Amino acid sequence: MHDAPMMKKPSNKLTFLKVRNDILICLFLVIATLAGYWQVNDYAFVKYDDTVYVSENNHVLPGLTVRGLAWSFSFHPKDRTYWHPLTWLSHMLDCQLFGLRPGMHHLMNLLFHMASSLLLFLVFKRMTGSLWKSAFVAGLFALHPLSVESVAWIAERKNVLSTFFWMLTMLLYTSYVKKPGYGRYLLVVLVFALGLLAKPMLVTLPFVFLLLDYWPLKRQESQALYLVLEKLPFLALSMVCIYFSSLSLQRAGILIPTEAIPMDLRLANALVSYVAYIGKIIWPFNLAFFYPYPTTMLPAWQIVGSGLFVVCVSILAVLAFGKRPYIAIGWLWYIGSLLPVSGIMQGGLWPAMADRWGYVPFIGLLLIIGWGIPDIVSRWRHKELGLATLTAVFFLILMSCTWLQVGYWSNNTTLCEHALDVTSGNYVAHNNLGLSLEEQGRIAAASSQYSEALRTKPDSVLAHVNLGNLMWKQGKAEEAINHYSEALRVRPNYDKALNNLGVIFARQGKFREAIALFRKALRVRPNSTAARDNLKKALAGQRKGNRQLQ
């Protein structure tokens, strides 16, 4: 009669230790991530898309409104962005709560990043039962410098928000697999749909589910057909999201045709980038917010070398599949989830590669590292002490590198100057640095930066418009007209160039030409207050012969 209580004590103690370890690891992840990123609390908005998403967006600034809600879900052009309504609502909520205090917007990004790191730990710990390997992978994700761009850039709320839903969907999927039920399944589908509304990056998650079914969930004993059919609702939602995103890009007129960037160059750049990202995982230095796309075909040795590397790693992953399935699963996770941003379809200011695009795909490589290192050192004499020491030193180095990388995001000037230091031909960095210099009243320096951007990329629409604005402020109307006209030659439906050129024509008394430009700008962007007001004034000026236009 006294044996029963004695049998329970070890079980209760074991449960307590497990919970305690989980809590301690979660605390470490939170504290270490805060230590690496806390300085963002003092950071400003940057010129690269923060203006589009928050600081100069008249739909976002008022906060959560009925009009803003309708705009978020509409397909009206949204200035170089695609359809992701939940992200817009997230920015609106920030403005509702914090106004234009950039530090609070930054901290919300950090909060989502920390939540995703915790969920990543809990997901793989539950799927595999491996506490320390799961913790190591989550720590790498939380503290690696390649995550900095997604966290420290306010405009990348879509990335951290959608990744939060990605992790939450995986956690719910694991619960469903452990204990199947219609309610649990529908909850997984619902959260997956919310993630798609934040960013289309989740379209590859059904593919990742199939990978996880094999390892570590080990569902291969089930019928393969059932596992595929189970993913059809997720696949259907993904197809709908892809259609909506493509439609929004088409309506915005920012899809890049293959005439501008040939398909062979896109494929070559994608192949080389797959290997370059791996290099950044190993050596995360010289990171920039924008990597210029190649203007000519890449060297043959890079293409062939990258192709051979990918093929060799794939063969090794297949050969190791039986004993070390995590290699193949991690590798396929990386290859498959990076495919949507590989550059086969391009829109807007498309870079050669981007650190933010690897935010989720890198997890596949982290799985290989997290499970591979213990296998490599399994025969060490003092492997536990050695691994603990190496891990502690490694995380300290990562935190230091992340802290330094976060520092470059403090303001637009430091961000652009760093990008110019570590890249060449970076017309976007030159253009954005020009904006900062112009705000500081350093007109000659700003003009020099815009001109350098055009020297590097003569068809840069934004540089032409910004230099046109500068020329107009200096009273150089004809030079301004030339730059606006050149911008419209490259991008005929760019509403800002249409509006600004219309203002000059109206001031010159060319009301007919100005009215045509304002009307075209409104066709492109029906909600443009500036174009609508200028059109009214131009019509009034045409009637009254008044050439003054504000």
pLDDT, position 364: 98
Q: Where are the domains of the chain?
A: 3-407, 412-544
pLDDT in tens, 127-183: 999 999 999 999 999 999 999 999 999 999 999 999 999 999 999 999 999 999 999
pLDDT in tens, 273-317: 999 999 999 999 999 999 999 999 999 999 999 999 999 999 999
pLDDT, position 237: 98
CA distances from 56 to 85, 159, 536 (A): 18, 20, 23
pLDDT, position 513: 94
Contacts of 187 (CB under 8 A, 6+ apart): 172, 176
How many angstroms separate the CA atoms of 150 and 140, rounded? 15
pLDDT, position 47: 93
542: tokens are 């045409």
Ranges of residues in the chain whose predicted pLDDT is under 50: 1-8, 547-550
Residue type, 358: G
Radius of gyration of the chain (CA): 26
Length of the chain measured in residues: 550
How many angstroms separate the CA atoms of 329 and 29, rounded? 25
Q: Does the domain formed by 412-544 have CATH 1.25.40.10? A: yes
Compute the C-alpha angle 142/363/381, nearest 5°: 80
Nearest in space to 371 (alpha carbons), one of 206, 140, 25: 140
509 with 474: CB under 8 angstroms? no
pLDDT, position 1: 37
Tell me if the pTM is above 0.95: no
